[in-house]
Amino acid sequence: MSSWIVDAARRQAGKQLAVSAIVLGVLVTLLGANWGYVREYFRGAHPVSAQELIGAAPSTRGWIRVQADKLHATGLQVITVRKKRGIERSRSVSTEFFVAEVGNRLLLVRGVPGQTALLEGTLAPPDPEAMSRLLDKPESRATLSSRFLPQMMDTHDYAGSATIWLPVGGLLALAALVWGGLGLARWRQPTSHPAVKPFVANQSLPAASASIERDIANAKTVKVGATTLTRRFVITQSLTKLDIQPATQLLWAFKQVTQKKMYYVIPAGKTYAAVLNFESGTVTLGGKEAVVDKALAFLTEHAPWAMYGHSPEIAAVYKDKRQREQLKAHVRSGIEKARAAAAAAATTTAATPAGADARLA
């Protein structure tokens, strides 16, 4: 069964499936690119002897653990200064440099306050500024430079990134799988899409689709972002969403004006939106003021039975589901009156030519 609504549901489901596949593809690519790190994370730091470290053995790659013979503080520190709006709020020692004795060699260590002789981290090129300060005296350069290993031990939190990003990536992959599975199911069976189900339930799917096609063909629409207003429906189509609301279910609409402020005080312009409250669900149309006004004028013309304008009383009635029935009854009454007026006008129009012919006869 093909119709405008069914085809729209299938298109949205296909986009949903494609986005999920792209997300999964990116996650798999990132996992492959960082597989060495991930493997080290799950394996943990592996012990390396002083001889392996001095000899630059292959085992020194990755996350390692080395027991230094002695650890000497150098007094070199990296201070982190925290500012807010240009004013210093606090400062702390984020990094300290040490020199570790490993066998008969020296190893520069980029560590943290309280660093112990059990070094755990990764090897990296020596910090040039730290080495320059350590060997700033000629006698130090002559006696110590040859003893330093050509690498530095960085005792950063090797597993910290994975502890955060692996769960995030796992949850994202799970969400993509679930969302993609829903997209696949809806693509195969568009009538299972939440936007289609109400029309299937009340057996109005063919008629509703035909009405939308006629309105779009006659260009009797107003476009606001991803939402299209037709004479009979409010349709939102985006990468992640399809929502179709019949105009006969519009209960209350109003213009929302929000004053933006910098630092909670200085006015910084306004934003505009049309808030459309239906029997089930709310659609917010944001845009320039002229566009919002045009959308509300269009709705006022084609859905005159709804309530327009904001008031605390209407808001209270709409929020209370039991009182909302009163609003629904008011709208249904307005729809019946509009239909009766349209029928009477049609009858009058059809009767006028016949009366004229009788007089002429």
Please write the tens of the pLDDT for every residue from 163-214. Answer: 889 999 999 999 999 999 999 999 999 999 999 999 998 889 999 999 999 9
Percent of the residues in the chain that have a pLDDT greater than 90, as a whole number: 51
Residue 122's Cβ-side half-sphere holds a number of Cα atoms within 13 Å equal to 14
Q: How far apart are CA 343 and CA 188, in angstroms?
A: 41
- In this predicted structure, the answer to whether residue 330 has a pLDDT above a threshold of 60 is yes
Radius of gyration of the chain (CA): 35
User: Which residues on adjacent β-strands are paired with residue 153?
Assistant: 109, 123
Here the tokens at position 113 are: 């306050």
Q: Taking the domains of the chain in order of start, what are their residue ranges? A: 45-158, 220-350
> Would you say residue 73 has pLDDT above 50?
yes
Pairwise CA distance, residues 271 & 268, whole Å: 10
pLDDT at 239: 86
Pairing of strands 118-124, 221-224: unpaired
pLDDT at 54 over 80: yes
- Cβ pair 234, 276 in contact under 8 A: yes
Burial class of 275 by CB neighbour count within 10 A (0 to 12, 13 to 18, 19+): middle
> What pLDDT is stored for residue 194 in this prediction?
93
Q: Mean per-residue pLDDT for 348-356?
A: 56
Q: Provide mean pLDDT across the span 218-243.
A: 91
CB neighbour class for 178 (10 Å; exposed up to 12, middle 13-18, buried from 19) = exposed
CATH 2.30.29 fits 220-350, yes or no: yes
Q: Is 263 exposed, middle or buried (0-12, 13-18, 19+ CB in 10 A)?
A: exposed
Q: What average pLDDT does this structure show over 335-354?
A: 72
Q: What is the pLDDT of residues 75-129, one digit of tens each?
A: 888 888 888 878 888 888 888 999 999 988 999 999 988 889 999 999 999 999 9
Asked if 45 and 93 count as a contact pair (C-beta separation under 8 A), the reply is no
Closest residue by Cα to residue 326 from 340, 336, 316: 316
User: Is-contact 116 100, C-beta < 8 A?
Assistant: no
- Report H helices in 196-266: 197-201, 205-217
